[in-house]
Structure 1
Amino acid sequence: MKIGVDYYPEHWDINNIKSDINLMRKTGVKLVRLAEFAWCRLEPAEGVYDFKWLDDAIELFGENDIQIVLGTPTCTPPLWLYEKYPYAIQVDKNGNRSFTGIRGHRCFNSPSMRKFTNLIVEKMTKHYANSKVVIGWQIDNELEANNCCCEHCSNKFREWLKNKYGTLETMNKEHGNVVWSGEYTSWEQVKPPLGGSPHLNPSYLLDFDRYAADSTVEYVKFQLEIIRRNCPKHFVTTNTWFPYYIPNFHKTFKELDFVSYDNYPTTKVIDNKDSLHSHAFHCDLMRGIKRQNFWIMEQLSGPLGCWMPMTRTTKPGMIKGYSFQAIAHGADTVVHFRWRNATIGAEMFWHGLIDHSNVPGRRFNEFAELCNDVNKISAELRDSVIKNEVAILYSSEQEYAFKIQPQVQNMYYLEQLQLFHQSLLRLGVGADIIDWSEDLSSYKIVIAPTLYITNETVTKNLYSFVKAGGTLILTNRTGVKYPNNTCVMKPLPGDFAECAGIVVTEYDPLGEDKLTVKSYNNKTYECTQWCDLIEPTTAKVIATYNDDFFKGTAAVTVNNYKSGKVYYLGTVFSRDYYYDLMSQILKDNNIKYYTELEDDIELSVRENDNGKYLFIFNNSNKLKTFKAKSKYRSIINDTVYGQTFELKPYGTDVLKECK
Structure 2
Amino acid sequence: MKKKVFIGLLLFWSCSSFAQKTESYFPPEELTTVGAYYYPEHWDEAQWDRDLQKMAEMGFEFTHFAEFAWAQLEPEEGVYDFKWLDKAVGLAAKHKLKVIMCTSTATPPVWLVRKHPDVLITREDGTQYDHGSRQHASFSNEFYREYAQKMIAELAKHYGDDDRIMGWQLDNEPHSNVDYGDDAQQRFRQWLKKKYKTIEALNDAWGTNFWSGTYRDFSEINIPQHKQWGMNLYQRLDHSRFCDYETSSFLDEQAETIRGYASPKQWITTNYIPMYDARFIGASRELDFISYTRYMVYGEHKGIGPRGYRVGEYSRIAMANDYFRPLTPVYGVMELQPGQVNWGTINSQPLPGAVRLWLWHVFAGGSQFTCTYRFRAPIYGYEQYHYGIVGPDGVTPTRGGLEYQQFIDEVKQLRRKSSLGETPADYLKRKTAILYDPDNTVAINQNKQTTVWDTEQHVLKYYKALKSFGSPVDFIRDTMDFSGYSVIVVPAYQQMSLDLVEKLTDYVKGGGNLIMSCRTGHQDELGHLWEAKHAEPIYELIGSSIEFYDLLRPYAPDTIAMDKEKFAWTSWGDILSPNAETETWAEYSGDFYAGKASVTYNQLGEGTVTYVGADSNQGDLEDAVLRKLYKRLDIDIQNYPEGITVEYRDGFGIAMNYADEDYVMDLSDDVEILIGDKLIPTAGVLVWRLK
Residue of 436, 451, 472 corresponding to 1:430: 472
TM-superposed deviation, 1:394: 1.4
Between the aligned partners of 1:384 and 1:8, the Cα distance in structure 2 is 41
> CA distance change for structure 1 residues 277 and 436 in 2, over 3 Å: closer, same or farther?
farther
Instruction: Say if 2:395 is the partner of 1:355.
Output: no
Instruction: Say if 2:687 is the partner of 1:648.
Output: no
Instruction: Say if 2:96 is the partner of 1:65.
Output: yes
Residue of 427, 443, 454 corresponding to 1:412: 454
TM-superposed deviation, 1:240: 0.4
User: What SS is found at the alignment partner of 1:82?
Assistant: helix
Give the alignment of 1:258-407 within 5 angstroms: 258-266=289-297, 270-271=303-304, 277-279=314-316, 280-290=318-328, 292-306=329-343, 308-358=344-394, 359-378=396-415, 389-407=431-449
> CA distance change for structure 1 residues 477 and 605 in 2, over 3 Å: closer, same or farther?
same
> CA distance change for structure 1 residues 615 and 198 in 2, over 3 Å: closer, same or farther?
farther
Farther-moved stretch of structure 1 (521-530 vs 475-484) = 521-530
Residue identity opposite 1:161 in structure 2: L
User: What SS is found at the alignment partner of 1:221?
Assistant: helix
TM-superposed deviation, 1:236: 0.5
User: What SS is found at the alignment partner of 1:485?
Assistant: coil
Instruction: Say if 2:666 is the partner of 1:624.
Output: no
Instruction: Say if 2:564 is the partner of 1:522.
Output: yes
Give the alignment of 1:121-132 within 5 angstroms: 121-132=152-163
Give the alignment of 1:461-500 within 5 angstroms: 461-500=503-542
TM-superposed deviation, 1:15: 3.2
- Give the gaps of 5 or more residues in structure 2: 1-31
Give the alignment of 1:182-261 within 5 angstroms: 182-194=213-225, 196-233=227-264, 234-242=266-274, 246-252=278-284, 254-261=285-292
Between the aligned partners of 2:208 and 2:397, the Cα distance in structure 1 is 62
Structure 2 counterpart of 1:657: 690
> CA distance change for structure 1 residues 481 and 428 in 2, over 3 Å: closer, same or farther?
same
TM-superposed deviation, 1:293: 3.3
- Asked if 1 retains the 8 angstrom alpha-carbon contact of 2:420 and 2:689, the reply is no
Give the alignment of 1:4-43 within 5 angstroms: 4-43=35-74
> CA distance change for structure 1 residues 486 and 508 in 2, over 3 Å: closer, same or farther?
same
Deviations 1:80-131 (A, max 9, x none): 0011111111112222222221110111132221222111111111101222
TM-score (norm 2): 0.89
Instruction: Say if 2:477 is the partner of 1:447.
Output: no
RMSD of Structure 2 on Structure 1 (CA): 2.3
Farther-moved stretch of structure 1 (491-500 vs 647-656) = 491-500
Instruction: Say if 2:618 is the partner of 1:585.
Output: no
Farther-moved stretch of structure 1 (277-286 vs 560-569) = 277-286
Deviations 1:412-454 (A, max 9, x none): 2222221111001111111111123311011100001011111
User: What SS is found at the alignment partner of 2:592?
Assistant: coil
Deviations 1:551-594 (A, max 9, x none): 21111011011111001111112233333322232333343321
Structure 1 counterpart of 2:19: none
- Asked if 1 retains the 8 angstrom alpha-carbon contact of 2:305 and 2:659, the reply is no
- Asked if 2 retains the 8 angstrom alpha-carbon contact of 1:27 and 1:372, the reply is no
User: What SS is found at the alignment partner of 1:87?
Assistant: helix
Between the aligned partners of 2:602 and 2:121, the Cα distance in structure 1 is 51
Between the aligned partners of 1:4 and 1:523, the Cα distance in structure 2 is 50
> CA distance change for structure 1 residues 191 and 70 in 2, over 3 Å: closer, same or farther?
same
Residue identity opposite 1:326 in structure 2: V
Structure 1 counterpart of 2:500: 458
Give the alignment of 1:525-536 within 5 angstroms: 525-536=567-578
Structure 1 counterpart of 2:619: 575
Give the alignment of 1:60-139 within 5 angstroms: 60-139=91-170
User: What SS is found at the alignment partner of 1:285?
Assistant: helix
Residue identity opposite 1:620 in structure 2: A
> CA distance change for structure 1 residues 154 and 269 in 2, over 3 Å: closer, same or farther?
closer
Between the aligned partners of 1:630 and 1:525, the Cα distance in structure 2 is 39
TM-superposed deviation, 1:383: 13
Residue identity opposite 1:68 in structure 2: V
Between the aligned partners of 2:489 and 2:258, the Cα distance in structure 1 is 38
TM-superposed deviation, 1:546: 1.5
Between the aligned partners of 2:553 and 2:522, the Cα distance in structure 1 is 18
Structure 1 counterpart of 2:18: none
Residue identity opposite 2:586 in structure 1: A
- Asked if 2 retains the 8 angstrom alpha-carbon contact of 1:427 and 1:579, the reply is no
Structure 2 counterpart of 1:153: 184
Instruction: Say if 2:605 is the partner of 1:562.
Output: yes
Instruction: Say if 2:638 is the partner of 1:594.
Output: yes
- Asked if 2 retains the 8 angstrom alpha-carbon contact of 1:454 and 1:479, the reply is yes
Q: How many aligned residue pairs are there? A: 643
Between the aligned partners of 2:218 and 2:421, the Cα distance in structure 1 is 52
User: What SS is found at the alignment partner of 1:510?
Assistant: coil
- Asked if 2 retains the 8 angstrom alpha-carbon contact of 1:437 and 1:461, the reply is no
> CA distance change for structure 1 residues 598 and 186 in 2, over 3 Å: closer, same or farther?
closer
Between the aligned partners of 2:645 and 2:108, the Cα distance in structure 1 is 42
Between the aligned partners of 1:440 and 1:244, the Cα distance in structure 2 is 21
Between the aligned partners of 2:421 and 2:219, the Cα distance in structure 1 is 53
> CA distance change for structure 1 residues 7 and 619 in 2, over 3 Å: closer, same or farther?
same
Between the aligned partners of 1:37 and 1:626, the Cα distance in structure 2 is 45
- Give the gaps of 5 or more residues in structure 1: none
Between the aligned partners of 1:435 and 1:598, the Cα distance in structure 2 is 29
TM-superposed deviation, 1:407: 3.1
Structure 1 counterpart of 2:17: none
